[in-house]
């Protein structure tokens, strides 16, 4: 719009209203609060389209896949365990995971906001865009790894699901090992409370 023109927010509450409603006296927020923009509430994409509450619904005015015009790309996802193949067409600007769910497919996912490795795939053909994929370093994105919950297709794509633990270990294991074995470092601090809780389970 014109310079200085203020864009109307798609959020129902202002930041101050949201804080007043949701932030507790100790400064924390309930992880599972039911909120339009809280993907961790597990509400995002977890039901039929008509009742989904997620950022995509709001950003795309609640349009289902077949209500979107424009460029579409063919996506082929192979399950690395069963060999089952999922094939669908995805509008260029829509997240692959959400589109697969709208088509009735179930793919591995957890955080739904690009921060864990549950929905990781290895792209074997084509290109995905994933600027919000905080759970993958540039090194692994460059090697073809992607997180489907925040990936949009730039071309037809073929990919293979990955073992979540293996990707997590690749991403963080080496770093954690360095931190844990650095005797002069201050990165690891013993948590006596956590040890006490762990011992209770034994």
**How does DSSP assign 83-100, residue by residue?**
--EEEEEEETTS-HHHHH
Angle at 169 between CA 87 and CA 152, to 5 degrees: 30
What is the average per-residue pLDDT within 119-146? 93
How far apart CA 158 and CA 90 sit, in angstroms, is 13
- Closest by CA to 73, choosing from 65, 81, 84, is 65
Q: How many residues does the chain have?
A: 202
- Distance CA(2)–CA(16), nearest Å, equals 26
Which pLDDT belongs to residue 141? 92
pLDDT, tens digit (0-9, with 9 covering 90-100), for 68-97: 788 999 999 999 999 999 999 999 888 999
Beta strands in the chain (DSSP E): 72-78, 85-91, 120-125, 128-129, 145-147, 152-153, 157-161
What Å distances lie between residue 11 and 14, 22, 37, 58, 87, CA to CA? 7, 14, 8, 9, 34
Dihedral pair phi/psi, residue 134, rounded to 5°: -70, -20
Contact predicate 157/125, CB 8 Å: yes
Tell me the mean pLDDT in the region 184-197: 60
Strands 72-78 and 85-91: antiparallel
**Per-residue pLDDT tens digits for 18-69:** 888 888 888 777 766 666 555 444 444 443 344 444 445 545 556 777 777 8
């Amino acid at each position: 719009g014109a310079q200085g023109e203020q864009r109307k927010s798609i959020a129902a509450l202002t930041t101050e209203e949201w804080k007043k409603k949701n932030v507790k006296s100790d400064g924390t927020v309930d992880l599972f609060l039911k909120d339009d923009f809280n993907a961790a509430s597990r509400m995002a994409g977890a039901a039929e389209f008509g009742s989904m509450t997620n950022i995509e619904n709001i950003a795309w005015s609640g349009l289902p896949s077949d209500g979107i015009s424009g460029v579409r790309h063919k996506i082929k996802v192979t399950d690395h365990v069963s060999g089952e193949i999922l094939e669908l067409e995805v509008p260029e600007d829509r997240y692959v995971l959400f589109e697969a769910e709208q088509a009735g497919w179930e793919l591995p996912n957890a955080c739904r906001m690009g921060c864990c490795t549950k929905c990781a795939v290895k792209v074997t053909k084509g290109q995905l865009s994933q600027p919000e994929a905080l759970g993958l370093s540039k090194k692994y994105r460059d090697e073809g790894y992607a997180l489907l919950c925040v990936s949009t297709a730039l071309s037809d794509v073929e990919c293979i699901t990955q073992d979540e633990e293996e990707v997590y270990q690749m991403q963080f294991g080496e770093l954690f090992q360095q931190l844990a074995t650095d005797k002069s470092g201050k990165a690891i601090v013993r948590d006596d409370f956590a040890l006490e809780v762990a011992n209770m389970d034994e």
